[in-house]
Chain A
Amino acid sequence: MKAALRFVPLVVLAILTGCVSMFSGMIFSPTGGEINAHNSSIAIVAGVDNDMNVAVAESMTEAIARNSTFKVMPAKQVAQRIAGYPQQVKGPYNSADITIDINYSKTDLKKVKEIMRKLGTDYAYVIWAPTGYSRTAVARNTSGVSGESKVYPAVAQLFQGPDAKVVGQGRFDVCAVKYVPFTTASDADVKDAIEYTTEIVSKYVAEKSGALKR
C-alpha cells in the first residue's frame, strides 16, 4: 500500500498538467518483433500541416534526443530536407474531425517512403495530430462540472527506411486539462502539456526500440 502511494503525486501531476494514455501498450508497440535501434539515426516528422503538429514534432525531437541513444536529426534540418515541410501525409486513420478514428492500414506509405529517401535516416517517427488546429475542434461538456480543457489526440508510426517498413505504432493525447469550472486552458497550459506528453512518450518509444538511455 505504502509503495503504491508513492505514485499518487505523479498521478495527480499527470491529471493537472496533461494526460497520456494510461496504457503503455497503446502509446507505442513494436509491430513485427523486437526493434534494435540503439545508436541508429532517426528523424521526427509532423504528418499534418498545422501548428500543433509541428510543435509536438519539435518537442518530441528534443525529448527523444534527451532520453534515447538515437542519433536525432534536428527539427530545422528535417524542415530543410523536405520541400514544403510540413507536408500533408495521409495518416493512419479513417477520419479525424474531433477524435481520430484510427486505422493503421490507411497511411500513405508511398509518401512516407519518399520522405524517408529525402531524410536519409535509418528511422522516421511520423506524428499525426490532425485536429491540432486549435480553432477547429473542441469537445465541450456543458454539464458545468469542469473547466474547458484542450485535447489534441495524436497517432504515430515508426518507419524503418528505405522501404518505410512500419516497425512500431501507437497513440497519445496532448491534454491541457482544466478541472476548475469556468476556466479555460491557455496557450501556456498547452505548451506545458506538449512538453509533458512528449517526455513520457519519448521514453516509451526509446525503451521499446532498444534505445533507452541508461
Chain B
Amino acid sequence: MHNKLHRLPGILPAAFLFLLLTGCGVHKPFVPMDGPVIVTPATIAIIGGDTSEPTQHLAEFLSQELSRRTTFRVMPQEEISRRLAKYPVNLALADAFEQDKPVWVVPEEKTKLDAMQESLKSDYLFVIWGYGLSRETAGFGNNTTYSITALGNLYRYPNGRPVAFTYDQNDRGMSFLGVFKGEAYDIEKLLRDSAERIAEKFAMATNTGR
C-alpha cells in the first residue's frame, strides 16, 4: 500500500487540493424541509422576492418551467400582477445562509405573504429571489463569468408553513454569442438554467412530474 501511494503521479494530490480549496458552491435547487412534500393537484403562484430584473426574470422562468414539467396549475405572472394591489414587491430577505433549513422571508414580512395568498387563493406560494447577480472579469477582460444564487421557499396553505427551500448557486462563462448579443443573453441563459434545475428537483420531490 505504501509503495502504491508512492507510485501516484505527483499532480493528483495537488489537483485534489485545488478542487477542495476552490469549492463548487452550494447546490440545493429544491429540498423538502420536513419529510416528503405530499401534493394533490394544486395551484401555485411564484412570487419574485424583490423588484430587480434578475428576480423578476427568475420568477417568470420558474413559472414557465413548473408549468412545463409538473401537473401544478401555475398562475401566470401577469395574473399575479392583476390580482395584487402591488406587484412586484420587495420582501426583506433574512440572513439565513448558515441555517440547515433556511427560511428566507423574515418573520415580520410573513403577514405580507399571507395577504398575497389571500388575494391569489393559491394552494402554494413559491417565493424566489435571484440574489447577488455578478459579473467577474479576470485576466484583464479575457475571462468573464456571471454568477447568481437562487434563494427561495415553498409555502403550503392554508397553514402558511414553509415546506421546502432553495439555495442554489449557479454560474456561466460568457459565451461566444454573448460577445455579440450583449450580456443580457448570457444572463438570461444563466437564469433559465437556474429555473430548470429548481423545477426538475421540484417535480421529483413533489412527485408531480409530467
Could you list which residues of chain A lie within 8 angstroms of chain B, going by C-beta atoms?
48-50, 84, 87-88, 94-99, 101, 130-131, 133, 135-143
Contacts and interface: CB of A to CB of B under 8 A. Distances in A.
B54 interface: yes
A28 B130 CA distance: 32
Contacts of A50: 50-52, 90
Contacts of A141: 136-137
Interface of B is mostly: mixed
21 contacts: A49-B88, A49-B90, A50-B51, A84-B85, A87-B86, A88-B88, A95-B182, A97-B53, A98-B187, A101-B184, A131-B53, A133-B50, A133-B51, A133-B90, A135-B131, A137-B134, A138-B133, A140-B135, A142-B137, A142-B138, A143-B140
Nearest to B185: A95
A94 B134 CA distance: 19
Interface of A is mostly: loop
B203 interface: no
Contacts of B133: 97-98, 136-138
B132 interface: yes
Nearest to A96: B53
Contacts of A137: 52, 54, 133-134
A130 B53 contact: yes
Nearest to B145: A142
Contacts of B183: 97-99
B54 A136 contact: yes
A94 B182 CA distance: 11
